[in-house]
Amino acid sequence: MNTPSRSLSIRRIVVALDCSPHSRASLDAAAAIAKAINAELSGIYVEDINLLRIADLPCDWQTESSSAKERQLDPLQVERSLRMQAKEASRMLGKAAMELNLTHTFRTLRGLVSAELLNAALDSDLLVLGRAGKTPVCRRTLGTTAKKAITEGQMNVLLMRKGFSLAGPLLVLFDGSEGSETALRTAQALSAERSVIHVLLLANSPSSAAVLRKKAEAVTEVPDKRLEFHEIP
Amino acid sequence: MSLPSPLTSKQIINRCDPSSFSFRTTEELGATTTIAGQERAVQAIEFSIGMKRDGFNLFALGPSGTGKQTAIEDYLHKRSAGEAVPDDWCYVYNFEKPRQPLGLSMPPGRGCELAKDMDKLVEGLFSVIPAAFSSEEYQEQEKAIKEELQGRQSSALEEIEKKAADHDIAVIRTPSGFAFAPVRKGEVLKSEEFMRLKPEEREKIEREIAGLKESMQAMMMQIPKWQRESQEKFKELNQQVAGFAIKPLLGEIASRYNALEPVQTYLERVEQDIIDNFEQFLQKDDEMQEMLPFQASSAFRGRKSHAFHRYRINVLVDNSSTEGAPVIFEDKPSCQNLLGDIEHMSQMGTLVTDFTLIKAGALHKANGGYLVLDARRLLMEPLAWEALKKAIRTRQIRIESLAQLYSLVSTISLEPEPQPLDIKVVLLGERQLYYLLSAYDPDFGELFKVAADFDDDMQRDETSHMAYASMIAAMVSGAGLRHLDAAAVARVIEFGSRSAGDATRLSTHLQNLSDLLHEADFLAGENNTGIVSRSHIDRALEARRMRAGRIPEKIRKAMIDNTILIDTDAEVTGQINGLAVSSPGGHMFGHPSRITARIKMGKGEVVDIEREVEMGGPIHSKGVMILSGFLGGRFGIDRPLSLSATLVFEQSYSGVEGDSASSAELYALLSALSGLPLRQWLAVTGSVNQHGEVQAIGGVNEKIEGFFDLCSQRGLNGRQGVLIPAANVRNLMLRDEVIDAIDKDQFHIYPVTHIDEGIELLTGVEAGKPDENGNWSPGSVNARIVKQLENMAEKQKEFRESAGNGNDQTQQDT
């Protein structure tokens, strides 16, 4: 797949890795995008400072989820566990990058997860992270980091969850703005060759929808058979 | 005493007149009579087969080749055709106890139908069940249950998080659980910051955290219960969906077997089992795609075949194409072939089995009908006899593996439900087997109450001639041979009499008869004739004699060459030609054998040299002892028998048995005693009793022909002949050459009733009669013997007296 000349300009993709299933999906998606648009992949693992601090606190305030029993957190064990996770995250990234022949870097940071991540992503064009991380089980909504990245982040954010794939079909909201044109070009670049790209035209009348459609078709320059246009009646 | 006249040719053969037949060839006769002359046996068969009670099984006894099997099979096929076809028998999976497969009995043909229906059902399930479980409705319900569990957990957690947040406490996931920590502006307090807090603040935090921990623990304790509840809901949902999906399929099958209660019960169990194990039919495509092609195909096959296996029907006995009751002849009645077997399959180096590997035995196939077995073969198979008896006694077929029984293999074994047994067993065997079983097996009489005793021969008369002819016609038609003309049939009948060894009876040895017909057919074929005529039968018999003639010919040649000394010309004292028969390889032939007697002084004993060297059998010894009895009775009443006689079969190297030479031995002895020479051109056969009466013997035809052949080779001179017991005249069925010689007065057969007739024929001297004082007519054989005995007694007395005096002197000397 060639890099489209006027698509979203992404040179560096930061992917947050914490070894959770969601972050595995994030890595796959980030690697696929990086391959598609020939970008650099940068993996970040943040050692949660809060966890280290709890281990340092003098009381045993941990409850084990397998037995519901209390147990003192051992600071050394927490350190060791974080190092192991960082190592695993680095290995995962290395493997994915090697398979797709990508340029990649890996960094381990320490601090508050969301702050460190957003900070580290400042110099990148896209931040890919799991919809929810390893914070308490069975969350139905977005994780704290994800929430923060969307509300406070300055960069493009892609939230992934386990079981989702970038191969398509993709949906592009098209309102004729410059941003939506970039979105459409990016979708074309990312989507698999035979996968459908659904383009939802945000128009309030059939006539304006027709105008938008023309505009969208103009964006693609050569007719793209994968595009399927939809409008809200 | 009037001497017996030699027999005429009419007396030595009972001819069958071809003109007495109403047919020209056997083609005109129906091919329906397959057996004749076995009325007793046939009645027994009818009785046994008709008797529907336990233990009235049949043992058909008789020599091999008497048509036992033919008669039984004929009768059974005729009878069974009108009887009901027995039910099919199937084995199915036992869902409660998989090691004890269940038996299903159903009307003929329904077993295979059900098996096909079940195979189709399984095929159908692979599409119906996945369809039901991939429906949107199911997915929605499944999602709802999952979300309910998730919701329960997260709302409980969120509640704790909220409660914690109210007190500036965060819930943080640790590698092994959850931890609570005081936070300030989203960050957990550092240890030193915490230690800097006032003690009361720390206590407060610790108290709050302790409370939160309790809530957390309480929630965690709830999680397994919630999960279990969800699982239950899942299970219920799955069962509902699966049950609903398969109901129409099973309902359709069940409706076809409405009247069959056991099938209905089985189908209900199948339905429940499918619902319980619906996952085996959910083969997801993406799972398969992840595997390598060969793994995918074998895994799919394995899973599919496993599912197939469980719901398959093993139709052990399929009577769909059976007409009437089954008649089974099991040629190899081994234990497995009778009771069936449980086969094993090798799987990853181990032997495994299941109910589909149960194999039917002859008892299963014959159940509801008849099973015919050869008794000898049955008894030669290890444990088969006991197994058969057990099955008959218990009236059920219980399949047991011999290897398992003897711990030869140790694998998973099955105990199939025994099949109820309703059968009539027919055993075919020799008489001796029947008598041995009766004597030594206490169960035998109880289980085989009826014996069909097949006779070796049958009465010969006009009616039986026709029956024989019909039987020949049936044999010829059955074997596709050329038909016989009337003269050939007559010759075969004569052969039947000769085989029976009796001119008034006919042999029922069908095998022998059938062999002759085949041989004659072959000769007729060589002559390019369409009909077998008398000459073909004659030639076949001649060829048969020729084929078996090596040994008799060699013996005869040795006699001609004087290697074996047989005099047929001179008159010799104390020497006679006895007649013996041998039957190497079942072919019987006769030949003369020289018997000599010598006498000396003694205490009245007759020494049988054969017995002394243990070459004589007990019957032969008995015959010789009878001679002593005769001599004692006739000559030893008035005087002591001061003789010692020795008797021997000259040039015999292989032992003697039978008493048919006892009359010849007596003649030799009388000749030795009387000093009268015996005519060596007459040979003798016949046994004798203590009164001197000559008694019947066996093999008379062969004996006569044996002596005739020798004489004929040396040249017939009109003197030669044979003395036979008069009682054996009815057995005579001699060869045409002998008949011709008799017609031409060149050879003679004398029927003798008493030893005195014989000795007169052999010596040409009158035997003599005792007068009122017991004195024999002067010059007669007996008078000479008495004189000789008196001489010997006198001499012995003199000798004893002189020997006694000598002894006295010796005693005096000492």
CB contact under 8 A, A134 and B173: yes
If you measure CA to CA, which chain A residue comes closest to B219? Answer: A68
A6/B177: higher pLDDT? B177
Residue B158 has a pLDDT of 84
Contact B679, B711 (CB under 8 A): no
What class does CATH assign to B38-86+325-454? Answer: alpha beta
Residue B570 has a pLDDT of 94
Question: What average pLDDT values come out for chain B (814 residues) when binned by 10 residues?
Answer: 88 92 89 74 89 90 84 88 93 92 93 93 89 88 88 85 85 80 82 85 86 86 89 91 91 92 93 89 58 50 65 93 93 92 82 88 94 95 92 92 70 85 94 94 93 90 90 91 94 94 90 93 94 95 91 94 94 95 88 95 85 86 90 87 90 86 94 95 96 95 96 94 96 93 95 96 93 88 93 87 65 40
Rounded distance between C-alpha atoms, residue A193 and residue B408, angstroms:
65
B754/A118: higher pLDDT? B754
CB contact under 8 A, A112 and B186: yes
Rounded to a whole number of angstroms, the distance from the CA of B160 to the nearest CA of chain A is 11
pLDDT digits (tens, 9 = 90+) for B724-747: 999 999 999 999 999 999 999 999
CB contact under 8 A, A53 and B190: yes
CB contact under 8 A, A57 and B181: yes
Residue A190 has a pLDDT of 73
Q: In the numeric block, which tokens belong to residue B743?
A: 């017609």
Averaged pLDDT of chain A:
78
Rounded distance between C-alpha atoms, residue B155 and residue B290, angstroms:
37
Option in B150, B179, B195 nearest A61 (CB): B179
Q: In the numeric block, which tokens belong to residue A203?
A: 């128009």
Q: Where are the domains of chain B?
A: 10-34+458-547, 38-86+325-454, 567-775
Return the amino acid letter for B304: K
Residue B412 has a pLDDT of 67
Residues of A in CB contact (< 8 Å) with B are 48-51, 53-54, 56-59, 61-66, 68, 70-71, 73, 77-78, 81, 112, 134-140
Query: For chain A, what percent of residues have pLDDT higher than 90?
Result: 3
CB contact under 8 A, B194 and A66: no
Q: Which residues on A lie below 8 Å from B194 (Cβ)? A: 57-58
Option in A54, A58, A81 nearest B188 (CB): A54
CATH annotation of A12-160: 3.40.50.620
Residue B378 has a pLDDT of 95
Q: Where are the domains of chain A?
A: 12-160, 170-231
Where do runs of H (alpha helix) occur along B561-649?
A: 609-612, 618-635
**A20, A47, A56, A61: best mutation site toward chain B, by most B Cβ within 10 Å?**
A61
Residue A137 has a pLDDT of 46
Are domains B38-86+325-454 and B567-775 of this chain identical in fold?
A: no
Q: Which residues on B lie below 8 Å from A50 (Cβ)? A: 170, 172, 181, 183, 187-188
Rounded to a whole number of angstroms, the distance from the CA of A192 to the nearest CA of chain B is 20
Rounded to a whole number of angstroms, the distance from the CA of A23 to the nearest CA of chain B is 16
Rounded distance between C-alpha atoms, residue B247 and residue B237, angstroms:
15
Q: Which residues on A lie below 8 Å from B187 (Cβ)? A: 49-50, 53, 112
Supply the residues of B annotated as catalytic: 660, 703
Q: Is the ipTM of this complex over 0.90?
A: no
Residue A192 has a pLDDT of 65
Instruction: Please choose, from the candidates A192, A194, A171, A196, the residue with its C-alpha nearest in 3D space to the C-alpha of residue A183.
Output: A171
Instruction: Assess whether pLDDT exceeds 90 at residue A227.
Output: no
Option in A48, A57, A63 nearest B177 (CB): A63
CB contact under 8 A, B181 and A54: yes
Query: For chain B, what percent of residues have pLDDT higher than 70?
Result: 94
Q: Which residues on A lie below 8 Å from B179 (Cβ)? A: 51, 54, 61-63, 73
Contact residues for B94 (Cβ-Cβ < 8 A; gap 6+) = B100, B101, B102, B355
Residue B339 has a pLDDT of 92
- Label the pairing between strands B88-92 and B313-317: antiparallel
Residue B741 has a pLDDT of 95
Rounded distance between C-alpha atoms, residue B159 and residue B212, angstroms:
10
Option in A49, A54, A81 nearest B179 (CB): A54
**A19, A49, A57: best mutation site toward chain B, by most B Cβ within 10 Å?**
A57
**A23, A59, A152, A165: best mutation site toward chain B, by most B Cβ within 10 Å?**
A59
Is residue A147 helix, strand or coil?
Answer: helix
Instruction: Please choose, from the candidates A176, A172, A131, the residue with its C-alpha nearest in 3D space to the C-alpha of residue A150.
Output: A131
Backbone Cα Rg of chain A: 21
pLDDT digits (tens, 9 = 90+) for B547-575: 989 999 999 999 999 999 999 999 999 99
Rounded distance between C-alpha atoms, residue B106 and residue B117, angstroms:
15
Please provide residue B568's backbone torsions phi and psi, each rounded to the nearest 5 degrees. Answer: -125, 20
Q: Spell out the long-range contacts of B612-619 with Cβ–Cβ below 8 A and sequence spacing 24 or more.
A: B615/B652, B615/B654, B615/B655, B615/B656, B616/B655, B616/B656, B616/B657, B617/B655, B617/B656, B617/B657, B617/B658, B619/B657, B619/B658, B619/B659
DSSP letter string over B707-745?
HHHHHHHH---S--EEEEEGGGGGG----HHHHHHHHTT
Residues of B in CB contact (< 8 Å) with A are 147, 150-151, 153-154, 157, 161, 170-181, 183, 186-191, 194-195, 206, 209, 213, 216-217, 220-221
If you measure CA to CA, which chain A residue comes closest to B213? Answer: A63
CB contact under 8 A, B173 and A62: no
Identify the CATH assignment for B10-34+458-547 out of 2.60.200.20, 3.40.50.720, 1.10.8.60, 3.90.660.20. 1.10.8.60
What residues form DSSP beta bridges with A104? A41
If you measure CA to CA, which chain A residue comes closest to B157? Answer: A136
If you measure CA to CA, which chain B residue comes closest to A54? Answer: B181
What class does CATH assign to B567-775? Answer: alpha beta
If you measure CA to CA, which chain A residue comes closest to B149? Answer: A138
Rounded to a whole number of angstroms, the distance from the CA of B316 to the nearest CA of chain A is 51
Is residue B761 helix, strand or coil?
Answer: helix
Option in B176, B177, B188 nearest A53 (CB): B188
A138-153 mean pLDDT: 68
Comparing A67-76, A144-153, B631-640, the range with the smallest average pLDDT is: A144-153
Option in B157, B161, B174 nearest A73 (CB): B174
Count interface pairs A-B at CB distance under 8 A: 96
Rounded distance between C-alpha atoms, residue B713 and residue B581, angstroms:
19
Q: Spell out the long-range contacts of B249-258 with Cβ–Cβ below 8 A and sequence spacing 24 or more.
A: B249/B121, B249/B124, B249/B125, B249/B128, B250/B121, B250/B274, B253/B114, B253/B117, B253/B118, B253/B121, B256/B113, B256/B117, B257/B106, B257/B110, B257/B114
